[in-house]
Structure 1
Amino acid sequence: RDSDAIKARLDPKNAYMGLPNARFILWKIREIALLCCSNLSVLPGMSSTYDEKSTLSKAELQRLVSSDDPLISFKKPSNKRSDCWTNFSQVYHSNNAQDYIVCLVCKSILKWTKDQGTRVMTHHNCVKVKSPSTTPTRQRTISSYCTHPSLSKECPLIRKRITEVCVEYCALDGRSFESVAGTGFKALAKQLVNAGATLGTSVNVTELLPDPSTISRNVEQVYFNLKKQLISLCVSLECFSITCDFWTAKLTGVHYGGISLHYVDEHSQLRMFTLSCQAYDFETQHAINLRSFVNKVLQEYGLHLNDEIFVVTDNENKMKSAFKDDCIRVGCSAHYLNKILEHAFLNKSSKCEGAQLLFKLVRAIITNIRQSHKQSLLSTAPINYSNTRFSGVYLMCNSFLKVYYELPKILGDEQKKSYLEIDHESLQSLCKYLAEFFKVIEKLSCEKKPTIHLVVPYKQYLINLSVVNDNDNHVMAPLKRYIGKELPDYWVLKDIHFIATMLHPNLKSFNHTPNQKYHAEALLKEEFDKCQQNQHPQASSATQNNKRKQTQQNNTKLMPSLDDIFDLPTAPDESSNTPELKSEFDRYLEDKTKIAKDADVLTFWENHESSYPTLAKIAKRVLSIPATNTAVERLFSDSGNTITNRRTRLQTSKVNQLLFIRRNLSQLKELFPTSLIQTRKRTISDASVTPSKKRKFSIEDCDKSSSQEFDIDDLPQEDVFDNVLQEDAIHESFQHDIGDGMSQDDNEEENYL
């Protein structure tokens, strides 16, 4: 039936030379039979269930792969997820999948099924030819300073044991599962790995771990060192803004005051630091006492309030009175929105009966579920309403909507009656409408990018969203009517909001509110003239020659980028015929440059600072103002996680220190990196001791040396930890191999680094 294929099989050139002639003939007969079977529907004496999906042995597949047989093909599974499949593929014979995979590096056949996963791949170590090294054997290479993943076969066993110990840790110490994923826990684990690599496993772990009282004493030392670094940053600040709020701890009844600092640094990066979460030590919360508390905290950092400093607070009367003089108070936009929604669902005067009835029914059902502890029977735990949480109505209704069809199984008879009164379509429409308010609050609460320029357009967006249309039912129409009426008046905007919107190249056209464009331009022009007057007080007394030189400099700035390669003309008559130049402000208004929607507006001003120097300075001052005071609100959430039922005796000063470290540590490490050379010198001096001597170190010596050298400025970052650990291991191997010849190599390595 297929004579050409049979002749090709019998060709002596394709014979397998490693087998005797008899075995070779048997192999060929078997292949001929397989070829014949593939062309016959049913062979005599064979079952009709025979198909083409014949499974070959590992040896047969290895032979066919080695000879590059055309019937062999490689494919990767369609549902592959692991990175191990980069060097492996599944073997196919005549387009039939085999229970084998092939290593694409060494062409080895490995047994594999879909149920085995990637274990056979991780255990396969093929021999790779290493390129000859051209560097001397005693000279370190760049790659030696980098950490490499462990290829040891014991790694899975170690990982399994670590998992078991983490389970025991969470159970015995009563910690959450999320605690092992925290940044602090990972840093502790990494330091313990470094200690094990240096001291070995013979050291008792209880001798290395500090006593709880020792940790408590060192918290203050770390706090003061970090605070000293932050004070050094505040000394050079010319313009900044702060957020301020006060709260009371439920467990202890202590009043706390939180203050955060916001500014734009010289690299056009928005910075946010927590200044304090101190106990409020005044008798009353009168406006004069609140202002005194804030002034006292700011004086610790060398900061003072004046008419150019902005303070973002909530909209309580005591906060308005406390910051009405010697500063510019800006209301929190998130509080404005949250209060409007709260009044719509809780106040009878809003006349939103349908929405309020729906709110009460949903809240009653969720309260009953949580009190009867039935939330664990649902796929998602419903969230109850809280007036201290932004977008509390949306979070409650949306969580209820997610488990809407699961509720009848767990509700009682009385709750089922309330459940049947809830219209699913009305609940969906309500959640869809409130979701836009939730997104706006989330956008305005961002801490890493400027947000104040978004207040004006987002306010108009919500006003347009609240216009009643024909599709609104009896629940949505009154709600939209009330919110659309309250938004323009209750949400108060300051002049600084319009100036900030003008400073964004994509929003300065005011397409969202054309009637406010000229008002915003006038405000920015006034701020521009004021800033220029402060920068150049003697500009009016300049001579005509200086004016002519300034005109030539302005011409240079206005030249297109391609013309920058040419020299300026030297003839004085050429500049006299040039038309009158436009000011920096007018050129910015006519500039059509746009940026991406998710781009940072501060990057735009950094790139155009040479073209608009005055406006860039204004932008750094204005765009540092946050639209909300959620930075302090998040600080209070962290303090609630710090003051728990098991830590009610924690001193208020210790609470302030812990929260200061938690909120500022990562940024201060970024701004004050440790000197790598100093860290490396300490590591080399430590590595000069043999490993056997290292294990004989006493804990007293370790404590003594650490107390003498400890300084927060010398704390290494994570990448420095990696280098220290790698260098310790390499230096120990060098000592074992070359002994006293280490000193010369140390000097060479330092010069090389």
Structure 2
Amino acid sequence: MSDSSDSVEPVNSTAKPRIRTAEDLKLAKPHIHAILTQHPTKWKQQDVDILENNYKECGPILTRHLGGGKASNYDRVVFVFNGKDIKSPRVICKKCSKTFHGSGGHLTRHTDECDPKVSAIDARQTTLTKSLTKTITKNEQSALAEAFGKLALDGVLPFKKLESDAVRDFTRTIFNLGVRHEGVLNEDFKFPGRKSIASSSSKIADSRFEKLRLVIKKAIEMKAVSIAFDYGKSIEDWLAVICHFPSPDGKLHCFPIVFIDWDPSLTKEADEVWRVLLVELETYDITEFDTINISAITDQGGNVLNAARGFGISVVCLGHILHTIAERCTLLYKKNKLTKQANTVLNDAKVLMDQCELLTLHIRTYGIGIDLPFIPRKPCSTRWLTYVDLMKDVNRLMPQLKEAYAQDKDCFGIKTNEGRAILKNEERIKVLCTFYEIFTTSIVSIQADSYPTLQRVLPTFKGFEMTADRLIREKDPLGDKQGSEFDTLRQSLGHSLKAVVAWKELNFLTDVHYLATMLWPKYKSISKFPPHIRTEAEDKLVELAYEYKPTQSSPPPKKPKSMFDFSDDEEETAGSFNVRAAVMREISSYRAMNDKPDEKDLITWWIGQKKILPIMSQIAIKVLSIPATSASAERVFSKLKAVLTSHRRSLHPLTTSRLIQFSNIDSDLLL
């Protein structure tokens, strides 16, 4: 056992421990750690004083230095905490060493007092501030009127809004903040009046119109113009004609070239549409106009469809076709093609979807007694897939519907039977939602206006055919993760989808769609499709080739007829053979290429092939400029609802038309 005299007593040290980590600082000086963890803009003057007085005791994790450039009149106090610079709101004047907290007018006033020479230099550098602090010049007054004119022309604010006190107070505040000087736009300042704003709007419109006139005229000369048109009846009986055309860089643009309040006394046949279009084109100084060089795309309505067939190329909007396919999958197109069991299953699915619609309308009107994360959408009678969206809303609200039903068996009111049926068929609704998602995804992928989409139509139909085959043959092909008891529903949907797609493909797909797909280098050989598609695509290419003349070489000289040959067919045959031969040579060269351009840059890629493929490149630009849907016309009618509000119902139709037109111009076209 050791002696007590051998034990060592600890020695009390008076030295302060070194703070090396943030944890050490938090334990030793929590108030300083709390200041450093705040954003410097929240530091008060006493906080900076605390850091200044205690930073030496917090080393080495906290240090201090001064930061500032040669051009600055002040040095800023910078603290380095844990290796990172923290700029404090404290500055020190380089000339007199006086300290200030924050920034603002007090620094400017001190600079004027401490060093007038530097103040004069700064004033010369801010010429805009110097000029606006005195008075508003005529040029600046015109600039303000022009800004208001753009707001009026683009349909952002009507005249009544521009003349309101709120807009003027906002403008006055922006001007004063911009020059950091109060009272620049005082109460005596005269804002631009309605005449001044209207004059500015007119000048801007004339400038935009001139640029658009040149662009559209050039596109018509290239024979690369397509139009999408439709009649709107939700607000007024309007005709919208949207002009789609490529720019020299290959980007697609669209512009409402015609937007008029249609005269009810006129018919809506092709002759009337052409007459209206010709009158409107005369305003663009386009007098030589031939419908054979224009492509048209429209929906499946009888009047607009007949009018579109009078143009050189006419196609039906794929969006409308997909809506019809989705609708017919449960409306049992040609019942005799399906089994009795399939008809029964699909009829039950249609009844369930109707119940979802009725329940969502009831929820929108009366609610169900508990808070919901969102309100179901309104049905749209003209778009069947929005009717499907109601079923998706019910699927998303299923947990809340179950909770409400558990609390109150009568929570659904007069739709109690529908509510019970929906709760019992939760898995069936999930299968239907997953099935209809393929239509929504397809429509979204083809509604763009800034790049080609027509080449996607044929692959989309092919994709639906493959989906139908998977539904018929595979188990859980949609990945809905529901049980095998729903295999009958999936197979019934597959058989119905296959029949409807075949019907639509036969009636609405044309050789133009086949050609557009062939002009996509991804499908240049069209080997994944039936042989007749390749033949029809090549024949359509030859047909369109007669509109374009090869630029590389002239055709070979014709052979003289013999004295015993009195036929009149040799000249036409030789000419046809020459065009076809030139086209087939270009097709062979095209298919031998290994280029794989991005789908969004197809027109740009074809523009670069004009020397190698002179005929095909011109036809490709023409065909790929046709959009796959008439969504641009639908968007214009949505814009009409925003322009013709309850406060602007007295707008003249021409004014409304111009507001719609000039608020839908791509900004890069006006550069």
Does TM-score exceed 0.5, indicating one fold? Answer: yes
Fraction of identical pairs, as percent? 17
Q: Which residue does the alignment assign to 1:647?
A: 648
Give the partner amino acid of 2:386.
G
In structure 2, which of residues 302, 321, 326 is the aligned counterpart of residue 317 of structure 1? 302
CA contact (8 A) 1:314 1:332 kept: yes
Residue correspondences, number:
511
| Secondary structure in 2 matching 1:208 | coil
Aligned pair 1:265/2:247, yes or no?
A: yes
Q: Which residue does the alignment assign to 1:617?
A: 618
Q: Which residue does the alignment assign to 1:155?
A: none
Q: Which residue does the alignment assign to 2:595?
A: 593
| Secondary structure in 1 matching 2:522 | coil
- Structure possessing the higher relative contact order (Cα contacts under 8 Å, 6 or more residues apart): 1
Q: Which residue does the alignment assign to 2:277?
A: 294
Distance 1:644 1:614 in 2: 49
Aligned pair 1:445/2:444, yes or no?
A: no
Give the partner amino acid of 2:215.
L
Distance 1:190 1:605 in 2: 48
Give 5+ residue unaligned stretches, structure 1.
Answer: 1-9, 11-25, 40-50, 74-86, 93-101, 110-121, 128-135, 148-174, 543-581, 674-753
Q: Which residue does the alignment assign to 1:104?
A: 85
Distance 1:480 1:290 in 2: 41
Deviation at 1:424, TM superposition (A): 1.7
CA contact (8 A) 1:223 1:660 kept: no
CA contact (8 A) 2:377 2:393 kept: yes
Distance 2:257 2:647 in 1: 26
| Secondary structure in 2 matching 1:385 | coil
CA contact (8 A) 2:79 2:86 kept: no
Deviation at 1:391, TM superposition (A): 2.4
Deviation at 1:275, TM superposition (A): 0.9
1:336-360 per-position Cα deviation (integer Å, ceiling 9, x unaligned): 1112223344578664212211211
Give the partner amino acid of 1:480.
G
State the superposition RMSD in angstroms.
4.7
| Secondary structure in 1 matching 2:380 | coil
Q: Which residue does the alignment assign to 2:501?
A: 487
Deviation at 1:312, TM superposition (A): 0.6
Q: Which residue does the alignment assign to 1:430?
A: 432
Shift in CA distance, 525/232, structure 1 to aligned 2, threshold 3 Å: closer
CA contact (8 A) 1:65 1:107 kept: no
Aligned pair 1:308/2:306, yes or no?
A: no
Deviation at 1:390, TM superposition (A): 6.2
Q: Which residue does the alignment assign to 1:96?
A: none
Q: Which residue does the alignment assign to 1:359?
A: 353
Deviation at 1:641, TM superposition (A): 2.0
| Secondary structure in 2 matching 1:523 | helix
Shift in CA distance, 400/530, structure 1 to aligned 2, threshold 3 Å: same
Matches within 5 A, 1:690-709: none
In structure 2, which of residues 393, 397, 400 is the aligned counterpart of residue 403 of structure 1? 397
Q: Mean Cα displacement is larger for which, 269-278 or 414-423?
A: 414-423
| Secondary structure in 1 matching 2:297 | strand
Deviation at 1:529, TM superposition (A): 5.1
CA contact (8 A) 1:242 1:262 kept: yes
Distance 2:459 2:169 in 1: 46
Distance 2:635 2:455 in 1: 22
Shift in CA distance, 481/264, structure 1 to aligned 2, threshold 3 Å: same
Matches within 5 A, 1:306-385: 306-345=291-330, 351=343, 352-372=346-366, 377-385=371-379
Give the partner amino acid of 1:518.
R
| Secondary structure in 2 matching 1:104 | strand
Distance 1:347 1:655 in 2: 43
| Secondary structure in 1 matching 2:436 | helix
Deviation at 1:604, TM superposition (A): 2.3
Shift in CA distance, 466/435, structure 1 to aligned 2, threshold 3 Å: same
In structure 1, which of residues 20, 26, 29 is the aligned counterpart of residue 14 of structure 2? 29
Q: Which residue does the alignment assign to 2:456?
A: 454
Give the partner amino acid of 2:587.
F
Q: Which residue does the alignment assign to 2:519?
A: 503
Distance 1:235 1:187 in 2: 41
Aligned pair 1:226/2:208, yes or no?
A: yes
Deviation at 1:335, TM superposition (A): 1.0
Matches within 5 A, 1:47-446: 53-56=27-30, 58=32, 69=59, 104=85, 193=174, 201-204=184-187, 207-211=190-194, 222-237=204-219, 238=221, 239=223, 240-250=225-235, 254-287=236-269, 288-301=271-284, 302=286, 304-345=289-330, 351=343, 352-372=346-366, 377-389=371-383, 391-408=385-402, 409=404, 411-422=411-422, 423-446=425-448
Q: Mean Cα displacement is larger for which, 330-339 or 371-380?
A: 371-380
1:125-183 per-position Cα deviation (integer Å, ceiling 9, x unaligned): 9x9xxxxxxxx99999xx98999xxxxxxxxxxxxxxxxxxxxxxxxxxx99xxx9xxx
CA contact (8 A) 2:212 2:669 kept: no
1:276-329 per-position Cα deviation (integer Å, ceiling 9, x unaligned): 220112514341434433333334332624323211111222223323335322
Q: Which residue does the alignment assign to 2:662?
A: 661
CA contact (8 A) 1:282 1:289 kept: no
Distance 2:464 2:188 in 1: 59
Matches within 5 A, 1:534-545: 535=551, 538-541=554-557
Shift in CA distance, 534/348, structure 1 to aligned 2, threshold 3 Å: closer
Shift in CA distance, 190/458, structure 1 to aligned 2, threshold 3 Å: farther
1:251-272 per-position Cα deviation (integer Å, ceiling 9, x unaligned): xxx3110001111122222121
| Secondary structure in 2 matching 1:600 | helix
Distance 2:628 2:374 in 1: 32
Distance 1:494 1:205 in 2: 67
| Secondary structure in 1 matching 2:523 | coil
Deviation at 1:247, TM superposition (A): 1.4
Shift in CA distance, 91/194, structure 1 to aligned 2, threshold 3 Å: closer
Distance 2:626 2:79 in 1: 55
Deviation at 1:587, TM superposition (A): 1.9
CA contact (8 A) 2:331 2:347 kept: no
CA contact (8 A) 1:291 1:323 kept: no
Shift in CA distance, 378/57, structure 1 to aligned 2, threshold 3 Å: closer
CA contact (8 A) 2:324 2:384 kept: no
| Secondary structure in 1 matching 2:349 | helix
1:98-127 per-position Cα deviation (integer Å, ceiling 9, x unaligned): xxxx85166999xxxxxxxxxxxx9699x9
| Secondary structure in 2 matching 1:595 | coil
Shift in CA distance, 659/192, structure 1 to aligned 2, threshold 3 Å: farther
1:684-738 per-position Cα deviation (integer Å, ceiling 9, x unaligned): xxxxxxxxxxxxxxxxxxxxxxxxxxxxxxxxxxxxxxxxxxxxxxxxxxxxxxx
CA contact (8 A) 1:66 1:107 kept: no
Matches within 5 A, 1:692-731: none
Q: Which residue does the alignment assign to 1:44?
A: none
Shift in CA distance, 425/658, structure 1 to aligned 2, threshold 3 Å: same
| Secondary structure in 1 matching 2:244 | strand
| Secondary structure in 2 matching 1:271 | strand
CA contact (8 A) 2:551 2:614 kept: no
Distance 2:268 2:389 in 1: 34
CA contact (8 A) 2:299 2:317 kept: yes
